[in-house]
């Protein structure tokens, strides 16, 4: 399967260039169609790092997109996925906490687009490297989310995932929807799988989210996602007849007389 890797980045100078280089080292060339870094109006050298790599010409298919204004991680993902040329997308956080060595594992578990099987394979950080308070905040948020949504996702916030591009683009879009992808894929009738992945400490820069802010916005979003889940029905089409040619001809008046 050929994939596009999409990496959202906000002020990830010192991380992003290294992550892109690692991605080209560890994802097999025959799998990797392109890597798109989406810069969400960074104010540091994030853009310079990527543009220097593009100019050096050693990374075929490396692309750079920059937003005119800061719009959030979900918007950055959507910009990259809209621009992507492959039917399969893999995403990673831009800070290097996800390990690109996991991408082939995730893609191997994914069904071919349109075939039975998982349309989303979500990473599952089995040994988190984040600090204590963030780990606890994340545990609590997961517990509340699971109690409300019952999506049985062990790690919805994990940034490394592989999924079908067209399904993502048909999902309802809102800021922070990237945290609810397993619930949203399920809601629209798709299978989701989980694969344990590596988690690494952040090397440069700082986290862009704080626990309180994430918790408050998260509760608000949870109400929205819960509403979407309750108010969505996705029937399977079990019978369909092709349009009849003679009826067409009748309609055009060709069978008369």
Ligand X SMILES: Nc1nc2c(ncn2[C@@H]2O[C@H](COP(=O)(O)OP(=O)(O)O)[C@@H](O)[C@H]2O)c(=O)[nH]1
Q: Which residues bind ligand X (CB under 6 A)?
A: 8-10, 12, 40, 70, 72-73, 76, 93-95, 97, 159, 207-209
What does 99 interact with, of Mg ion, ligand X, none (CB < 5 to 8 A by kind)? none
Minimum distance of ligand X from residue 121's CB (angstroms): 19
Paired with 109 in beta bridges are: none
Token pair of 143 as six digits: 């517990």
Contact segment (CB under 5 A) with Mg ion among 52-60, 78-86, 92-100, 119-127 equals 92-100
What does 229 interact with, of Mg ion, ligand X, none (CB < 5 to 8 A by kind)? none
CA dist., res. 48 & res. 41, Å (int): 12
Q: What is the enclosing helix (H) or strand (E) of 77?
A: helix 73-83
What does 73 interact with, of ligand X, Mg ion, none (CB < 5 to 8 A by kind)? ligand X
Q: HSE on the CB side for 26, CA within 13 Å?
A: 15
Pairing of strands 191-197, 3-9: unpaired
Within 95-124, which residues bind Mg ion (CB under 5 A)? 95, 97
In the complex with ligand X, which residue's Cβ is closer, 79 or 86?
A: 79
In the complex with ligand X, which residue's Cβ is closer, 30 or 68?
A: 68
Minimum distance of Mg ion from residue 208's CB (angstroms): 8
Minimum distance of ligand X from residue 37's CB (angstroms): 10
Q: What is the DSSP string of 196-228?
A: EE-B----SS--S--HHHHHHHHHHHHHHHHHH
In the complex with Mg ion, which residue's Cβ is closer, 130 or 221?
A: 130
Minimum distance of Mg ion from residue 30's CB (angstroms): 29
In the complex with ligand X, which residue's Cβ is closer, 1 or 45?
A: 45
Question: Binders of Mg ion: how many residues, by CB under 5 A?
Answer: 2
In the complex with ligand X, which residue's Cβ is closer, 129 or 251?
A: 129
Minimum distance of Mg ion from residue 251's CB (angstroms): 59
CB of 169 closer than 8 Å to CB of 86: no
CA dist., res. 42 & res. 46, Å (int): 7
Residue that the structure tokens 């290294």 belong to: 18
What is residue 102's three-state secondary structure? helix
CA dist., res. 230 & res. 232, Å (int): 6
49 counts as binding Mg ion under rule CB under 5 A: no
Minimum distance of ligand X from residue 46's CB (angstroms): 8
185: Cα separation from own chain's centroid: 11
Would you tell me which residues interact with Mg ion (CB under 5 A)?
Answer: 95, 97
């Amino acid at each position: 399967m050929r994939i596009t890797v999409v990496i959202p980045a906000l002020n990830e100078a010192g991380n992003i260039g290294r992550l892109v280089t690692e991605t080209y080292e560890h994802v097999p060339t025959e799998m990797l169609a392109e890597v798109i870094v989406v810069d969400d109006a960074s104010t540091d050298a994030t853009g310079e790092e990527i543009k220097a790599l593009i100019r050096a010409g050693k990374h075929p298919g490396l692309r750079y997109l920059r937003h005119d204004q800061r719009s959030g991680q979900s918007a950055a993902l959507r910009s990259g996925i809209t621009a992507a040329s492959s039917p399969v997308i893999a995403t990673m956080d831009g800070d290097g906490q996800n390990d690109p060595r996991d991408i082939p594992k995730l893609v191997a578990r994914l069904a071919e687009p349109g075939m039975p099987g998982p349309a989303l394979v979500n990473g599952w950080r089995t040994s988190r490297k984040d600090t204590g308070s963030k780990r606890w905040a994340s545990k609590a948020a997961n517990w509340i989310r699971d109690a409300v949504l019952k999506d049985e996702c062990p790690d919805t916030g994990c940034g490394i995932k592989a999924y079908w591009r067209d399904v993502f683009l048909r999902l309802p879009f809102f800021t922070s929807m990237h945290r609810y992808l397993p619930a949203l894929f399920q809601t629209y009738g798709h299978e989701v799988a989980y694969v344990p992945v590596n988690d690494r400490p952040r090397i440069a820069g700082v986290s862009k989210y704080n626990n309180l802010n994430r918790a408050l916005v998260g509760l608000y979003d949870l109400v929205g996602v819960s509403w979407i889940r309750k108010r969505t029905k996705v029937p399977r089409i079990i019978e369909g007849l092709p349009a009849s040619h003679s009826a067409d001809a009748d309609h055009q008046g060709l069978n008369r007389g």
